[in-house]
Amino acid sequence: MATGNINVSVENIFPLIKKFLYSDHEIFLRELISNATDATLKLNHLIRIGEAKIEAKHPKIEIKINKEDNTLHIIDEGVGMTKDEVEKYINEIAFSGAEEFLEKYKDSDSKDTGIIGHFGLGFYSAFMVANKVEIKTKSWKDEPAAHWTCEGTTKFSLEESDKTDRGTEIILHINDDEKEFLEDQRITELLVKYNKFMPISIKFGTKEKELPKAEDAKEEDEPKKVTVDNIINNPNPAWTKQPTELEDADYNSFYSELYPTQFEEPLFHIHLNVDYPFNLTGILYFPKLGNDLSAQKDKIQLYQNQVYVTDNVEGIVPEFLTMLKGVIDSPDIPLNVSRSYLQADGAVKKISSYITRKVADKLKSIFNDNREDFEKKWNDIKVVIEYGMLSEDKFFEKAQSFALYPTTDEKFYTLEELKNEISELQTDKEDKLVILYASNKDTQHSYIKRAEAKGYKVVLLDSPIVSHLIQKIEQENEQKVSFVRVDSDHVENLIKKDTEQVSKLSDEEKETVKTSFETVVPKERYTVQLEALDSDTAPVVITQPEFMRRMKEMQQSGGGGMFGMGNMPEM
Ligand code: ADP
Ligand code: MG
């Protein structure tokens, strides 16, 4: 039996591993299962290129808990390691076998192997939860099996082992204060979180499965049950397939697989799929959003080679799209780096603008192909679009062609269409087009009625960021259009080409109403206007200069991120 020293430059990394490196001890399991997956994928690759003459079967990874011995076992049927390889790959910590494998086979499509490699500390993260770790491993090469043991110091032992099956078993002797990792429920939770879509089947225990009833079975017969492997993962998740292989129903069922507690179907999906100049796959879903920006429970999940990494995609996905759901899988996103680094990273910037472009293109194509459907969904998706128009100039440009302006008479116009619609009637003295809008159908009801009675179109803009958005649209249109809320005194300045409408009030009545209102309404801020065009419109309205209200609103909602924006204040 050989003993020796693990080759590390740092005096003793183990206390470090245990205390400082990861606050998240649980990621050890992700690392070990990633290694087991890599080992299996490597063997598959060697079989495929004819280097390993072994019959290809369906290899799996198994996780086992032994409560009596306080051990957790991760067992694979992959390439295994010879004694020399253990020396090299395990004892020389700074060495990544994954990188070496890719280097060696780089001429034989090794890119397609899906090898995962390390996220961080790799194998040694086992010592975050175990005081002793054993490796029993038998290589696919015809060599004796090896048995490595290490008790969390730089000393290790390496001897021959009697293991006969090809592959590797990692045995973790779990620390007393990490006993949670010996609970079935905790391990299931971790497997579901990190490994739900990994490419090799992962078995954890068994389960009972009901067999379909035989044709001649009687009503009262108990269904027959069989015991089957409890496979945790779906090795072929939808995002790894080609869009042409999938129907809408497949996308919806993948959505419920991703978010099992989410019962509402998504509105539509966007399949991401690029391999140059970076590699990225994924599926994004537009859920029903409404105006509630805080209702964001199921977030976009980030994967690398089908291993879950995080649900914090800040910096990778533009902020306005973080309200979407779904998955993104890319080996090209650097992990374990700060967010500010991420934002400065060239590849990440490209990824972010690719995603923005794809989303805009998809919205455009739904708008073009099925406008009716798009209009129906508008109110559920508009916050994302409006926020995107506000925050990303590229998106603003593209959104010009599909952003909708619903009117109070329940029609939907694009800005261009709206401009044409109102150009006759709604211009002011400076010849600007005036878009009248309401931000609340109920509280501004009488103002809407009044504007409609005058033959004006009123657009309903009720999302929380509207005051910022209209400012932006005015700018982009070189101030040739201006948005004016229905309760503004500005409405009076519109040039009406039709004949003057006559109020139903007598002069005397007008005077009485006006003076009694003016005693209670502060003159410096509001104007009292009298009108009664028909029995539906109010005889008197109180209006406010548009610029005054807007200034107040901008001050109140401030800049900041979208989730910090309050609701539009009513006057
Ligand atoms: P990385 O995965 O980035 O190479 P690790 O520290 O996770 O780094 O693993 C180091 C090396 O140990 C691997 O590259 C591989 O060569 C070897 N190894 C680890 N686990 C296994 C396993 N289950 N089967 C075969 N080799 C393994
Ligand atoms: Mg690894």
Give the best-scoring range by mean pLDDT among 52-56, 58-62, 562-566. Answer: 58-62
Answer yes or no: is the C-beta of 201 below 6 A from any ligand 1 atom.
no
Question: By CB neighbour count within 10 A (0-12 exposed, 13-18 middle, 19+ buried), where does 158 fall?
Answer: buried
**Looking at residues 26-50, what average pLDDT do you find?**
93
* pLDDT on residue 562: 45
2-5 and 155-161 beta bridge pairing: antiparallel
**What is the best residue among 89, 91, 99, 104 to mutate for testing ligand 1's pocket, by most ligand atoms within 8 Å of CB?**
89
* pLDDT on residue 516: 79
Lowest mean pLDDT among 203-207, 283-287, 288-292: 288-292
Answer yes or no: is the C-beta of 37 below 6 A from any ligand 1 atom.
no
**Angle 495-498-501 (CA atoms, 0-180°, nearest 5)?**
95
Residue 233 has pLDDT above 70, yes or no: yes
CA dihedral of residues 45, 46, 52, 56 (deg, nearest 10): 0
Residue 18 has pLDDT above 90, yes or no: no
Q: Measure the CA–CA gap between 195 and 29, rounded to whole angstroms.
A: 9
Answer yes or no: is the C-beta of 117 below 6 A from any ligand 1 atom.
yes
Full 3-state SS string of 492-548: HHCCCCCCCCCCCCCHHHHHHHHHHHHCCCCCCCCEEEECCCCCCCCCEEEEECHHH
User: CA nearest 473: which of 407, 412, 429, 419?
Assistant: 419
Q: Measure the CA–CA gap between 447 and 444, rounded to whole angstroms.
A: 5
Lowest mean pLDDT among 245-259, 263-277, 289-303, 513-527: 289-303
Query: What confidence tier does 563 reach under pLDDT thresholds 50, 70, 90?
Result: very low
- Within a 13 Å sphere around the CA of 33, how many CA atoms are in the beta-carbon half? 33
Residue 10 has pLDDT above 60, yes or no: no
Give the best-scoring range by mean pLDDT among 177-186, 440-449, 474-483. Answer: 177-186
* pLDDT on residue 525: 73
Structure tokens at 308: 């879950």
Answer yes or no: is the C-beta of 307 below 6 A from any ligand 1 atom.
no
* pLDDT on residue 254: 97
Contacts of 143 (CB under 8 A, 6+ apart): 82, 83
Report which bound ligand comes closest to the CA of 123. 1
Question: Tokens 């079935």 — which residue?
Answer: 184
Answer yes or no: is the C-beta of 287 below 6 A from any ligand 1 atom.
no
**Looking at residues 109-138, what average pLDDT do you find?**
78
**Angle 179-124-171 (CA atoms, 0-180°, nearest 5)?**
50
Lowest mean pLDDT among 125-139, 154-168, 340-354: 340-354
Residue whose Cα lies nearest atom 18 of ligand 1: it is 35
* pLDDT on residue 494: 66
Lowest mean pLDDT among 412-416, 468-472, 532-536: 532-536
Determine if the peptide bond prior to 277 is cis (ω within 30°).
Answer: yes
Question: By CB neighbour count within 10 A (0-12 exposed, 13-18 middle, 19+ buried), where does 516 fall?
Answer: exposed
Residue 536 has pLDDT above 70, yes or no: no
Q: How far is the CA of 244 from the centre of ligand 1 (A)?
A: 36
Query: What confidence tier does 138 reach under pLDDT thresholds 50, 70, 90?
Result: very high
Q: Measure the CA–CA gap between 426 and 432, rounded to whole angstroms.
A: 8
* pLDDT on residue 19: 57
Residue 222 has pLDDT above 60, yes or no: yes
**Looking at residues 67-74, what average pLDDT do you find?**
97
Residue 425 has pLDDT above 90, yes or no: no
Residue 36 has pLDDT above 60, yes or no: yes
More confident position, 297 or 49: 49
Residue 97 has pLDDT above 80, yes or no: no
Residue whose Cα lies nearest atom 2 of ligand 1: it is 117
Tell me the backbone φ, ψ of residue 373, rounded to 5 degrees.
-65, -40
Query: What confidence tier does 196 reach under pLDDT thresholds 50, 70, 90?
Result: very high
* pLDDT on residue 3: 76
Residue 297 has pLDDT above 70, yes or no: no
**Angle 439-441-442 (CA atoms, 0-180°, nearest 5)?**
120
Query: What confidence tier does 27 reach under pLDDT thresholds 50, 70, 90?
Result: confident
* pLDDT on residue 42: 95
458-460 and 433-438 beta bridge pairing: parallel
The per-residue b/e assignment along 312-336, b for 16 or more CB within 10 angstroms, e otherwise, is ebebbbbbbbbbbbbbbbbbebeee
* pLDDT on residue 560: 43
Query: What confidence tier does 567 reach under pLDDT thresholds 50, 70, 90?
Result: very low
Q: Measure the CA–CA gap between 259 and 196, rounded to whole angstroms.
A: 12
Residue whose Cα lies nearest atom 20 of ligand 1: it is 35
* pLDDT on residue 215: 78
Which residues hold their Cβ within 5 A of ligand 2, which is an ion? 35, 118, 122
3-state helix, strand, coil in the chain (%, to 5): 40, 20, 40
* pLDDT on residue 571: 34
Give how far the C-alpha of residue 357 lies from the chain's centroid of Cα atoms, to the nearest Å: 16
Query: What confidence tier does 473 reach under pLDDT thresholds 50, 70, 90?
Result: very high
List, as own/partner pairs, every contact residues 501-509 make where C-beta atoms lie below 8 angstroms and the sequence separation is at least 24, other chains included. 501/453, 501/454, 501/533, 502/533, 503/530, 503/531, 503/532, 503/533, 503/539, 504/532, 504/533, 504/534, 504/535, 504/539, 505/530, 505/532, 505/539
* pLDDT on residue 414: 96
Q: How far is the CA of 458 from the centre of ligand 2 (A)?
A: 60
Question: By CB neighbour count within 10 A (0-12 exposed, 13-18 middle, 19+ buried), where does 285 fall?
Answer: buried
**Looking at residues 303-315, what average pLDDT do you find?**
89
Question: By CB neighbour count within 10 A (0-12 exposed, 13-18 middle, 19+ buried), where does 389 fall?
Answer: buried
Residue whose Cα lies nearest atom 5 of ligand 1: it is 122
Residue whose Cα lies nearest atom 17 of ligand 1: it is 89
Residue 335 has pLDDT above 60, yes or no: yes
368-418 confidence digits (pLDDT tens): 999 999 999 999 999 899 999 999 999 999 999 999 999 998 999 999 999
Cβ atoms of 40 and 59 within 8 Å: the answer is yes
The H or E element that residue 371 is part of is: helix 371-391
**What is the best residue among 35, 104, 304 to mutate for testing ligand 1's pocket, by most ligand atoms within 8 Å of CB?**
35
Q: How far is the CA of 122 from the centre of ligand 2 (A)?
A: 4
Q: Which residues pair with 138 in a beta bridge?
A: 167
* pLDDT on residue 541: 74
Residue 209 has pLDDT above 80, yes or no: yes
How many residues does this entry show for the chain? 571
* pLDDT on residue 289: 76
Q: Measure the CA–CA gap between 435 and 415, rounded to whole angstroms.
A: 10
Mean pLDDT computed over every residue of the chain: 84
Structure tokens at 238: 């939808």
**Looking at residues 162-171, what average pLDDT do you find?**
96
% of the chain at pLDDT higher than 70: 81
301-304 and 155-161 beta bridge pairing: unpaired
225-231 and 481-485 beta bridge pairing: unpaired
Cβ atoms of 283 and 270 within 8 Å: the answer is yes
